Amino acid sequence: MATGQPTATGATGQEETATSAAAQEGRVAGTTGQRMSPGQGSATGAAGKEGTATGAAGPGPAAGAAGQGMASATAWHGGAEAVAAAGPGRQAMTPAEAALAALGGTGAREWPRPRSCRMITIANQKGGVGKTTSAVNLAACLALHGARVLVVDLDPQGNASTALAVEHRAGTASVYNVLVDDQPLASIVQAVADIPGLYCAPATIDLAGAEIELVPLVAREARLSRAFADYDASSLDYILIDCPPSLGLLTVNALVAVAEVLIPIQCEYYALEGLEQLLRTIDLVKSHLNPTLYVSTILLTMYDGRTRLASQVAEEVREHFGEVVLSTVIPRSVRVSEAPSYGQSVMTYDPGSSGAQAYLEAAREVADRAAELGQTG
Ligand SMILES: Nc1ncnc2c1ncn2[C@@H]1O[C@H](COP(=O)(O)OP(=O)(O)O)[C@@H](O)[C@H]1O
Ligand SMILES: [Mg+2]
C-alpha cells in the first residue's frame, strides 16, 4: 500500500455502502446486544453475510479495492467460507462469531501475536478526536482475531467502559482505586460480555478527583506503571489505555506506564494545533520518567472523503510523520458513532459498515507492525 494514499475504506468517504446495507438488513446477533439462542435469527444473519461475501469476493486486500466504493472489499480472507459457516441449518452464532463472519474472517488465519504484551497509550489532549472510539474498536478487532486484550479506561467520563458495557457506576471498583488506593489491577478487571479475550479496567466518575488526589502521593506519575508491574500480563497480548482529553496526571501516568503511544488525529482544520504540545509532553516523559516511550502509531480518524480539507490534513500529517501514520484511514461513519449507545463496538454492532471495515484494517496494520519489528513470537 502506497503511503499517502488512504485505503479503500477511507478513500470512498462514503458513510455506508451497498454492502454494509446488506449487512444491516440481515443485522447479525451483535446488533441486539443479546446472544442468539440456537435456531434464532441465523437465516437473517446469513442473508446479511451473503451481501458481505459478494464484496469480499473481489481482489481481497484493501489496495485492490481502492475507488470501488465497497467497504467490504477490504475483507482479506474467507468471505465465502464465512457464508458457508453461517448458512441456514448451522448453529446460531455468538455476537463475536457473527461479527467475525461479517468482517470476512473465520479465524482461519490468525493475526501475528506479539511475543510479550504490547502496551499502547492512546493519547491526544484534544477532545473528540476518536481516542475512545479507536481504543474500543481496535481492541475489539484484535480480540476477535485471537488476541487477548485489556482496555484500561483512564477517562473519568468512562466512555470506553460504556462502549464495552462493563459496570462502572460510582462506587464500582475501578482504575480510581488502583491509582489512589493501591488496589491490585487484577481485582478491577472485568471481562467484556460479547467478545471473548477482551477485558476492561473501568473508569468511574470518582476518577475525576484523582487528578488532584494524586498530587501529594509518592511517585504520583508512576502509579499506573507500578500497578502494571504488580499485574501478571503474561496471558495478554495488548493493553490499550484510553486517556482523558488533557495532559494532566492521568495522561502522564498512562505515558509513564507504556512503551508505545498511538495518537488519533481527526482529519479537520484544527487537527495539528496542540499536537506540538502533546509531542513535547511525550518528550518530557521520555527524558525524565520513561526512556522507552515513543510514538509508534498515528491514526487518521473521521475522514470525510468528500472534502479537500480532509485529504489535505491527511497529506500534511503523512508528510510530517511518515511511516508512523497507518495507511488505513478511519472514515466518518454514522455506525461508528451509534455503536456506543448500544454498549457495543462497531465491530459487533455493524461489522459490514465502512467504519468497522476500516478499524479492521487499522487493527491488522497494528498487529502486523509488531511482526515487522520482529516482536512476534
Ligand atoms: N469515524 C467516526 N465516524 C463518526 N463519528 C465518530 C467517528 N469516530 C468517533 N466518532 C464520534 O465522535 C465523538 C468523539 O469520539 P471519541 O472517540 O469519544 O473521541 P475522544 O475519546 O478523543 O474524545 C463520539 O461521539 C464518537 O462516537
Ligand atoms: Mg474519550
Cell of 123: 493519547
Separation CA 207–CA 209 (nearest Å) = 5
Cβ(330) – ligand 1 distance below 6 Å: yes
Residue 85 has pLDDT above 70, yes or no: no
pLDDT score, position 45: 34
Please report the atom of ligand 1 found closest to the CA of residue 302.
Answer: 1
Cβ(337) – ligand 1 distance below 6 Å: yes
Cβ(244) – ligand 1 distance below 6 Å: no
Q: Which of 11-25, 80-94, 123-137, 311-325 has the lowest mean pLDDT?
A: 11-25
Q: Per-residue confidence at 96, pLDDT binned at 50, 70, 90? A: confident
Cβ(332) – ligand 1 distance below 6 Å: yes
Residue 177 has pLDDT above 50, yes or no: yes
Q: Per-residue confidence at 104, pLDDT binned at 50, 70, 90? A: confident
Q: What domains appear along the chain, each with residue ranges and CATH number?
A: 1-93 (no CATH), 118-372 (3.40.50.300)
More confident: 177 or 38: 177
Please report the atom of ligand 1 found closest to the CA of residue 126.
Answer: 22
Residue 303 has pLDDT above 90, yes or no: yes
Q: Per-residue confidence at 9, pLDDT binned at 50, 70, 90? A: very low
Ligand 1 centroid from CA 131, angstroms: 7
pLDDT score, position 358: 97
Pocket test for ligand 1, best of 337, 346, 357, 361 (most atoms within 8 A of CB): 337
Cβ(30) – ligand 1 distance below 6 Å: no
Q: Tell if the pTM clears 0.85, that is, is over it.
A: no
Rounded mean pLDDT of 105-110? 57
Cβ(60) – ligand 1 distance below 6 Å: no
Cβ(301) – ligand 1 distance below 6 Å: yes
Which ligand is the nearest neighbour of the Cα of 130? 1
Instruction: Name 262's Cβ contacts closer than 8 Å, sequence gap at least 6.
Output: 120, 121, 122, 123, 134, 240, 295, 296, 297, 298, 299, 366
**Residue with CA closest to ligand 1 atom 20:** 128
Q: Per-residue confidence at 372, pLDDT binned at 50, 70, 90? A: low
Ligand 1 centroid from CA 244, angstroms: 13
Rounded mean pLDDT of 146-175? 97
Asked if residue 85 lies in contact with residue 106, where contact means CB atoms within 8 angstroms, the answer is: yes
Cβ(125) – ligand 1 distance below 6 Å: no
pLDDT score, position 193: 94
What share of the chain in percent tops pLDDT 70?
73
Residue 11 has pLDDT above 80, yes or no: no
pLDDT score, position 56: 33
* Residues shown for the chain: 377
More confident: 329 or 1: 329
Ligand 1 centroid from CA 317, angstroms: 19
Query: What is the overall mean pLDDT for the chain?
Result: 79
Cβ(126) – ligand 1 distance below 6 Å: no
Please report the atom of ligand 1 found closest to the CA of residue 303.
Answer: 1
Which ligand is the nearest neighbour of the Cα of 124? 1
Cβ(354) – ligand 1 distance below 6 Å: no
* Count of Cβ atoms closer than 10 Å to residue 308 Cβ: 8
Cβ(19) – ligand 1 distance below 6 Å: no
Cβ(287) – ligand 1 distance below 6 Å: no
**Residue with CA closest to ligand 1 atom 17:** 130
Ligand 1 centroid from CA 375, angstroms: 30
The pairing of strands 260-266 and 294-303 is parallel
